[in-house]
Amino acid sequence: MVESFTAVEIISVKRDRQELSDSQIDWVINAYVRGVVADEQMSALLMTILLNGMNSRELSRWTDAMIKSGERMNWSALDRPTVDKHSTGGVGDKITLPLAPLVAACGAAVPQLSGRGLGHTGGTLDKMESIPGWRASLTNPEMLKALQDCGAVICAAGSGLAPADKKLYALRDVTGTVPSIPLIASSIMSKKIAEGTSALVLDVKTGNGAFMSEPEDARRLANAMVELGKRAGVTTRALVTAMDVPLGLTAGNALEVRESLEVLAGGGPADVVELTILLAQEMLDAAGVSGKDPESALKNGSAMDHWRRMVRAQGGDPNAALPIAREKKLITAEESGVISSMNALQVGISVWRLGAGRERQGEKVQAGAGIEIHAKPGSQVNKGDPIFTLHTDEAARFERAEAALSGAVVIGTSPVERLPLVVTKIV
Ligand code: URA
Q: Separation of 4 CA from ligand 1 center, angstroms?
A: 29
Cα-to-centroid distance, 68 and ligand 1 (Å): 18
* Ligand 1 binding pocket, CB closer than 6 Å: 88, 169, 178, 183-184, 187-188
Centroid of ligand 1 to alpha carbon of 51 (angstroms): 18
To test ligand 1's pocket by mutation, which of 62, 66, 118, 193 has the most ligand atoms within 8 angstroms of CB?
118
pLDDT(150) > 90:
yes
Q: Is the pLDDT of residue 16 over 90?
A: yes
pLDDT at 115 (0 to 100): 87
Whole-number Å distance, alpha carbon 271 to ligand 1 midpoint, is 24
Q: What is the mean pLDDT of residues 48-65?
A: 98
Q: Is residue 226 over pLDDT 80?
A: yes
Domain at 7-53: CATH code: 1.20.970.10
Ligand 1 pocket mutation pick from 46, 93, 211, 217 by most atoms within 8 angstroms of CB: 211
- Output the CA torsion 178→180→181→184 (10° steps): -20
Whether the per-residue pLDDT at 44 is higher than 90: the answer is yes
Q: Which residues are catalytic?
A: 86, 165, 172, 187, 191
Q: How far is the CA of 370 from the centre of ligand 1 (A)?
A: 23
Q: Is the confidence at residue 269, as pLDDT, over 80?
A: yes
pLDDT in tens, 395-427: 999 999 999 999 999 999 887 778 999 999 999
- Among 48-52, 120-124, 202-206, which stretch is predicted with the lowest mean pLDDT? 120-124
Per CATH, is 83-313 categorized as 3.30.565.10? no
Query: Which atom, in ligand 1's list, is nearest to the CA of 115?
Result: 3
The rounded mean pLDDT for the chain is 96
Whether pLDDT at 25 is above 80: yes
Chain centroid to CA 11: how far?
A: 31
pLDDT-derived band at 102 (thresholds 50, 70, 90) equals very high
Using most ligand atoms within 8 A of CB, pick from 188, 204, 217, 221 the residue to mutate for ligand 1: 188
Ligand 1 centre to CA of 257 (Å) is 23
Show Cβ contacts of residue 231 under 8 Å, excluding neighbours closer than 6 positions: 60
Other CB atoms within a 10 A radius of the CB of residue 340 amount to: 17
Domain residue extents for the chain: 7-53, 83-313, 327-412
Q: What is the pLDDT of residue 110?
A: 98
Q: What is the pTM of this model?
A: 0.95
Closest C-alpha to ligand 1, atom 7: 184
pLDDT level of residue 132 (50, 70, 90 thresholds) = very high
Task: List the residue whose alpha carbon is closest to atom 2 of ligand 1.
Answer: 188
Average pLDDT over residues 208-230: 96
SS3 per-residue string spanning the chain:
CCCCCCHHHHHHHHHCCCCCCHHHHHHHHHHHHHCCCCHHHHHHHHHHHHHHCCCHHHHHHHHHHHHHCCCCCCCCCCCCCEEEEEECCCCCCCCHHHHHHHHHHCCCEEEEEECCCECCECCHHHHHCCCCCCCCCCCHHHHHHHHHHHCEEEEECCCCCCHHHHHHHHHHHCCCCCCCHHHHHHHHHHHHHHCCCCEEEEEEEECCCCCECCHHHHHHHHHHHHHHHHHCCCEEEEEEEECCCCCCCEECHHHHHHHHHHHHCCCCCHHHHHHHHHHHHHHHHHCCCCCCCHHHHHHCCHHHHHHHHHHHHCCCCCCCCCCCCCEEEEEECCCCEEEEEECHHHHHHHHHHHHHCCCCCCCCCCCCCEEEECCCCCCEECCCCEEEEEEECCHHHHHHHHHHCCCCEEEECCCCCCCCCEEEEEC
Q: What pLDDT is recorded for position 173?
A: 82
Q: Rounded to the nearest 5°, which phi and psi values hold at 86?
A: -130, 130
Residue nearest to atom 3 of ligand 1 (CA): 188
* Average pLDDT rounded to a whole number, residues 83-88: 96
Ligand 1 atom nearest the C-alpha of 184 is 6
The closest of 73, 62, 68 to 195, measured between CA atoms, is 73
Q: With a cut of 80, say whether residue 343 has pLDDT above it.
A: yes
Do the domains at 83-313 and 327-412 have one common CATH topology?
no
Better-scored residue on pLDDT, 290 or 179? 290
Compute, in angstroms, the gap from residue 172 CA to the centroid of ligand 1.
10
What pLDDT does residue 418 have?
86
Using most ligand atoms within 8 A of CB, pick from 54, 184, 203 the residue to mutate for ligand 1: 184
- Contact of 110 with 151, CB cutoff 8 Å: yes
Task: Average the pLDDT over 275-294 and give the result.
Answer: 97
State which ligand 1 atom lies nearest to the alpha carbon of 183: 6
Beta pairing, strands 409-412 & 337-342: antiparallel
If one looks up domain 327-412 in CATH, what number appears? Answer: 3.90.1170.30
- Position 1 scores a pLDDT of 83
